[in-house]
Every structure is written in structure tokens, then in C-alpha cells.
A and B are shown apart, each in its own frame.
Chain A
Amino acid sequence: MRCEGDMSAQVEGTPVDRDAVRDGVIDIIRGYAKVKELSAATQLDKIGVDSFDFVEIVFKIEEKYGVEIDYNANASFSDISTVGLLADKVVALVEAKKTA
């Protein structure tokens, strides 16, 4: 399914503000995380959320940035283990979408 999301921060023709996207992703995760400290280095399986909260996190990120993350709740990410790597993945998806 297609989703345009909130692209207000990604105006056509301008480069993707990577830091803004990274911060936005981390903010979304922080909204669910049950740990005091959360940084790019935090392991995704250590943020204290259940599997369904994580689906909701993925959904929120997808809605906000108009991207689709290749994620299935029946399996963990094979290549994304930390908050920062997930943020990087989203940055890459947003950039790919812009150049598509």
C-alpha cells in the first residue's frame, strides 16, 4: 500500500535533512521506549517494548516519512540491531524515494 506521510520537512528539490530524519525516528522510538537512556547505540531489543508496540513504531515511522520498511513482526530485522541503524535505514528510504 502506498502512503505519502508527512513530507512537510522534505520539500521537493531540496536534499534530505538526514539529521532531522534521524532525530525524528529516534523521537518516535523514545515515545514508546521504557528505558531511561535512549541513543543511537541502544539495541532495539533492549528498549523494553513488546512486539506489538514495535509494529506501532514501524507504522508511525512509515506514516511520518511516507516510506515502507521491510519488516515482518514474525521475524527480527536481520541487519538492523540498533536505534541508529533503524534511523539510518529510514534516511536511506527517504533518500531513495526522493530520487525515484
Chain B
Amino acid sequence: MTRILVTGVGVMSAAGLDAGRFWSSLISARPTFREASGAPGSGVLVAEILDPEPFQHLGVNLAACDRSALLAVGAAREALADAGFSGPFERPDRVAAIIGCGGGGIMSVEEQYARRSADPSARPHPRTVSKVMVSSSASWVSMTTGARGPCFVTSSACASATHAIGVALQLLRAGVADVAIAGGTEAPLSLGCLNSWEAMKIMTSTACRPFARGRDGLMLGEGAGAIILETEAHARRRGAEAAIELAGYGATADAGSLLAPSVEGMTAAMRLAIEDGGLDAGEIAYVNAHGTGTAANDVAEAEALNALFGAGRVPPVSSIKGVTGHSLGAAGAIEAVATVLAMRRSVAPPTANFDAPDPRCDIDCVPNVAREMAIPAALSNSFAFGGLNAALAFRALG
């Protein structure tokens, strides 16, 4: 089977507006959260990008573009530069752009509702539809990069980006494209969206503490991540440097509860990714967990890891959501970027804000301090509401 290489990564997150700064925040477990600017006085903690500067140089009409699309464009641009692409693609029709996004133009639709609410005679802006449509971010990535191959958004809540990257892998293997800009984006920090999440009573009031005894919920974040996937032949032909391949992808649906996680479904997705990559579970040296910091997810994920690897044989596992927040449809891409960086740099990023072990989460979650270790193969997990499970398996090239 054709090997699919990871030739570039890019990220925009409260943890950092490029891969270098992002990585530095991750390994120092630097807190990024603060009260949401969209909900002043609420005490709702989020990981929010406050610097407007990165949006000024994207070369797009800012008024025509939802924040989720801007974030995607920024991450895609960095990933292409990291992969050594500059100028027009040789075969634009062979470059795919597959982006995961859970909610689409959440901020734009809410902005228009707010206008209407303040003044019932106010009319929506004529660009509202094109900003709100959930596929907008993939279109903007295509328009700003010149990618003319298959282009669409996958939307599967918090697994959106992992599904996007997995589908991109399959497209490349199938020979539909040579290169894919694959990733995810989400800009969910509007008042209505924050209030809706609060209504579920699963938000932290202190800090996101995945797998820790003191965890009290998740923290929303915004951001985007992108990775450049490329067939080995294409990458070699243009002399691209690549040390890592996306070896496998696994996805399952629980066909059960809309909200409750399923240990069985999680385990199956991880197992499928490992098998799809031609790996043995014993080769996986690190797992970048979904690890949301909720009571339910973290216990289920720890149980699934133990079921897959066997008790006492689970490799180091960490969740970066204590730093990045949970950026929903973008999370899988941001975490795929973190996984690739961890493999490139031979360092497992820590799980931040860890106070004390929870005996129900029987894993080594690399608490608070980054760990130097060789990572020849790794998993990156995403588990979404709706019972949607997806996992990616990465392998270092020998």
C-alpha cells in the first residue's frame, strides 16, 4: 500500500499561533485560559485567541470570512510552508482540502441574531449564508491555497478533524489526490454557544484537569490545526523532508447513547487504527488522548486504553486540553499536530493542571512535566458526542 507521509504541520491556538509557540506552551503546561471575552462576568473559562494580528495578514476579506475559516486558513498556510510548498501547486487538481468543523460559522450566525435581537428591523448581512455554511472553511482553504482537488468539510462534533484527516488518508491511498491539506477548525466562543455548553453542566470552574482526581469538567477553546499529507512518491519527487507517516485510521460508531461514551467503541476505533497501519499495539509508544477533563470521558478512555493494551502495558498517555481547551471540531487536528511534534522532538507533552491521580483512570498520563522519550509510533484519539470514535496511528520512518 502507498505510504502517506506527514510533510508539514500548522496550528492556530490560544496555546500558540504557530507550531513553535504552540509546542513551547504544551511542554511547559502553560495555562492559557481566562474568562471568555464573549461572556463577561460569567466566569466561564476558555482558551481564546486574543491577538487580532494573525488575521490581518492572511490575504482574505475579513468581512467575508467567519472566524472558523480564518483560523483554518492560518493553520493551512503554516502547514504548507512547513512542508516546503511555495507558489502554485504543480498539479492543483491533485491537491485535496479536507477540513473538520463541528459547528460552522457559529459566531457569524450569532452575530446576526444579536443584531436582529437589538433591532427587529435590522437585516442580516448579505454574506451571512456564505459565512455560516459549515463547508465555508474548506472553501477558504482551497481559495487561499489554490488546491483544486476534492474539497469538503467533515462534521462529526468533536471527532470532525480526526475524521477529516482519516478520510484524507483514504483519498490519497485510493489515488484520488497526491497531496491533502487535512485538518480541523472551530470558533465556538460566542455567548450563545458558551451558554449552551454551560447548560450541560460539564464545564470546569477551575481549570481543565484531564485524568486528575480533582477534574471538574471541560474548558472550551478555539483554534485550528492542519497537516499536509502526501503520497511517498510525490514527497520524494519534490525532495520533501518527512520523518513520519500517517499509518492508520480507525473509526467506529457506538449506535448507542448520544452523550455517554462507550469503552467498547473507543477501544475498537483505536484497534482499527493500529491494524490499518500494520502495527502491533506493543509498538505504540505514546497516546495523545481525547482527555476532555470530564468525569465520564476520562474514565471511559482510561478503561478503553487498558482494554486495548492490557493492564500495566498502556504506554504514556497525555491530554493537551488543559492548555489548548477543547476546540471541538478542531481538536483532532490540533492534537494530531501535537502528536507529530512529539514524535519529531522525542518528547511527550504533559497533561497540565494535574492535581492527584484518580484511581479510576489507571494510566500514566505524563502529569504536568514533559517527558523525553523516543516515540516510534503513536495514536491520537477523538471521541465525539453522538457516539463517534476516531483514531489516527502515526509511525516514524525508519
- Residues in A lying within 8 Å of B, measured CB to CB: 1-4, 52, 55-56, 59, 63
Docked-complex contact A59 and B126, CB < 8 angstroms:
yes
How far is it, in angstroms, between the C-alpha of A46 and the C-alpha of B122 when the chains are bound?
31
Docked-complex contact A1 and B123, CB < 8 angstroms:
yes
Within the complex, which residue of A1, A52, A55 is in contact with B121, where a contact is CB–CB below 8 Å? A1
Per-position 1/0 for B94-137, Cβ under 8 A of A = 00000000000000000000000000011101110010000000
Known contacts A1-B123, A3-B123; 9 further A-B pairs (Cβ under 8 A)? A3-B122, A4-B121, A52-B126, A52-B130, A55-B126, A56-B126, A59-B123, A59-B126, A63-B123
Docked-complex contact A52 and B127, CB < 8 angstroms:
yes
Docked-complex contact B121 and A3, CB < 8 angstroms:
yes
| B125 proximity list for chain A (CB < 8 A) | 59
Interface residues of B, CB < 8 Å — how many? Answer: 7
| B122 proximity list for chain A (CB < 8 A) | 3
Interface residue ranges of B343-361 to A (CB < 8 Å): none
| A56 proximity list for chain B (CB < 8 A) | 126-127
Smallest distance from the beta carbon of A34 to chain B beta carbons, Å?
12
List 11 contacting pairs A-B, 8 Å CB cutoff, sorted by A: A1-B121, A2-B121, A3-B121, A3-B122, A4-B121, A52-B130, A55-B126, A56-B126, A56-B127, A59-B123, A63-B123
Query: Chain A: which residue is nearest B127 at the CB level?
Result: A56
Query: A-B pairs with CB below 8 Å: how many?
Result: 17
Interface core residue of B121, B122, B125, B126 (most chain A CB under 10 Å): B126
| B127 proximity list for chain A (CB < 8 A) | 52, 56
How far is it, in angstroms, between the C-alpha of A1 and the C-alpha of B130 when the chains are bound?
21
Smallest distance from the beta carbon of A46 to chain B beta carbons, Å?
21
How far is it, in angstroms, between the C-alpha of A3 and the C-alpha of B121 when the chains are bound?
6
Identify the 9 closest CB pairs spanning chains A and B, nearest first.
A2-B121, A55-B126, A59-B126, A1-B123, A56-B126, A3-B123, A3-B121, A4-B121, A56-B127
Smallest distance from the beta carbon of A30 to chain B beta carbons, Å?
16
Smallest distance from the beta carbon of A100 to chain B beta carbons, Å?
16
How far is it, in angstroms, between the C-alpha of A59 and the C-alpha of B127 when the chains are bound?
10
Query: Chain B: which residue is nearest A54 at the CB level?
Result: B126
Query: Chain A: which residue is nearest B119 at the CB level?
Result: A4
Smallest distance from the beta carbon of A69 to chain B beta carbons, Å?
12
How far is it, in angstroms, between the C-alpha of A13 and the C-alpha of B127 when the chains are bound?
35
Smallest distance from the beta carbon of B120 to chain A beta carbons, Å?
9
Smallest distance from the beta carbon of B310 to chain A beta carbons, Å?
57
How far is it, in angstroms, between the C-alpha of A22 and the C-alpha of B126 when the chains are bound?
23
| B130 proximity list for chain A (CB < 8 A) | 52
| A1 proximity list for chain B (CB < 8 A) | 121, 123
| B121 proximity list for chain A (CB < 8 A) | 1-4
Smallest distance from the beta carbon of B304 to chain A beta carbons, Å?
47
Query: Chain A: which residue is nearest B123 at the CB level?
Result: A1
How far is it, in angstroms, between the C-alpha of A3 and the C-alpha of B124 when the chains are bound?
11
How far is it, in angstroms, between the C-alpha of A7 and the C-alpha of B123 when the chains are bound?
16
| A4 proximity list for chain B (CB < 8 A) | 121
Query: Chain B: which residue is nearest A1 at the CB level?
Result: B123
